[in-house]
Structure 1
Amino acid sequence: MKLFIRSLLFVLLSATVPLTLFAQANYRTIANYKVFYGWAHRFPQDWMIIRSFENEGKNYYLLVNPQTLETKIEEPNFYQVKPMSIHDARSFFNNTPYIKALRKAEKQSVTIQDAGIESGIPKEKGISLTADLCPSHRALDKRIFTDIFNGFNKVERPVPVALSITGIWMRQHPQDLEWLKQMQAKHEIYITWINHSFNHRVSLKAPLKENFLLEPGTDISYEVLETEKDMLKNGLLPSAFFRFPGLVSDQQLVYKITGFGLIPVGTDAWLAKGQQPQAGSIVLIHGNGNEPTGVNDFIKLLQLKSRAIANKQWLLYDLRESVDEEFEDTQK
């Protein structure tokens, strides 16, 4: 029901508001970008502050709606604000889906691969699609986005997709990034932007415990915050999610990421590895041109489900709603 209401509101607003008003502002001169926790209130909603920064002489917050996991950028003077420690902020919002998702990710932090949230609500007839944009010399695999738009256009528009993006990919593929932004501006897709680290370093020889973000000497603050800054400079809105490069982490790293207020997102269906999606799966493919097998498998899945899609019996779900509704269900 929540998904229907939000989609209806989006359609109604789209009919009367210029496209440019849906675009995220570009913050070109960011300074003092840092982790900052607190409570921000503007009737009727309480928000959790997770970042503060300056741009062209103005102060801004990155806010998370703890009930829906939606994020936004706002100026502090629009809100009643109380700075908090991370402990106090998590305690204040303790029973919300956002904090419950952080706790669940921390409980699943021991495994070295695929820690974090792996799936949404099992009862849902559909999946949440995540596509990773790791550094690559190849162009964006646009088939993913044109095919989901063509497949869902008559039953679900804009079509939700979550993209895990790296700083290096943004800098190397500005035209592909602009193409994605135009699809969103035309309400063809709706993108949840997931932080996927800045460099996404990987070694073909190092063991997993010393690979990816576990590589000795990794500056995790740079990997997280520099990516968010580049998102904002490119007009992208950072979400409350993080995906580990290679899905590799250890317990200490998971807690570092949740310390940034970010929810680690794994997968229970990496298509290129032969993992089959179930109802509520968080599906992983790569959109950076490096994994055509996974993309081909996803396109075959769309074709297989075409009749169910037409009958609204198999849909793509917004990752935020899939996660927040899971934790709302635990309260019932």
Structure 2
Amino acid sequence: MRRSLKLAAVVLSGSLGMASLAACGAKSTDNNSASAGAGGSSFKVGMAYDIGGRGDQSFNDSAARGLDQAKSELGATINEAEAKSGESEGDKEQRLKSLVTSGFNPIIAVGFVYQDAVNKVAAENPNVKFAIIDSSSADQPKNVTSLTFSEEQGSYLAGVAAANKSKSKHVGFIGGVQSELIKKFEAGYTAGAKSVDSNIQVEVTYLTTPPDFTGFADPGKGKQAAQGQLDKGADVIYSAAGSSGTGAIEAVASNQAGDKWAIGVDSDQAKQPALEKYKARILTSMVKNVDKAVFTYIKSAKDNSVQGGVQNFDLKAGGVSLATTGGNIDDIKAKIDAATQQITSGQTTIPTAP
């Protein structure tokens, strides 16, 4: 299990900030840029991770890449705060408040589970800029920007790939938590698969339901769910389940027949070091370019050009895409390209609910 407490030394604004950050499981890194001065860069960016945190080989890691780019290219001092399994709403609020107290601005919350906490803390701190990934609400304060994605569009392409590669005409979908967000992945994937073969069977399994969000951070559950789908005859399995999806990939890659495929999510999982030994059986990944959204937002914060409301990153804007690592979908490139063109032109509209 990932450590919930990570702390690296950094000069923060006062001992209270250091103490409160340590209490909420945060770590800071100083970029040591020439403009930083004795106390580090004056541009300080905070990130509060979802369950699984940096190192999940998926969603959080994609956000982390955007943060790292801001550190490298924009001279930001960064702080990363880790989530804990089974935490309360108060824990999320305290994590955000600790970043505020320590002078981090902007602050990025990774995942829809932060919506209520972001709304409350942002309302209490109108001079601090906040972003939340994968969520928006009608009562969101003006100093909050929602960074959302058209997951259903990328998942549709994953479904097209799955149906074209399936020999059994039976594919699978594993969702980490049965939420409105993950249902977008399911809806797009199913629609994409059925656009190729209306009779294809799509097996659907969710690992947990709210308020249990451990389905995003339990590879064992992911592996068990994938094995169950393999046993039922599925030969291509797509997981939208955070680090739990690594377990599903392991189950598929370890199948004795050696002819099953896994589809990764969020990051190009065939390129992730921890999944190196399984990459030969990763057909593709539905890449959600959270890093692009995060870096774009942080740059706008530094340029004082942040806009509140919702910023959506769709297929046309490069917010979602299919990975081509390994060349496993090269033979169906024309079909993927055709489906892409139909979506970006508006000819095909993808459902957002199953």
TM bin, normalised by shorter chain, reads under 0.3
Largest Rg, 1 or 2: 2
Q: Which has the higher contact order (CA 8 A, sep 6+)?
A: 1
TM-score by length of 1: 0.25
State the TM-score, normalizing by the size of structure 2.
0.24
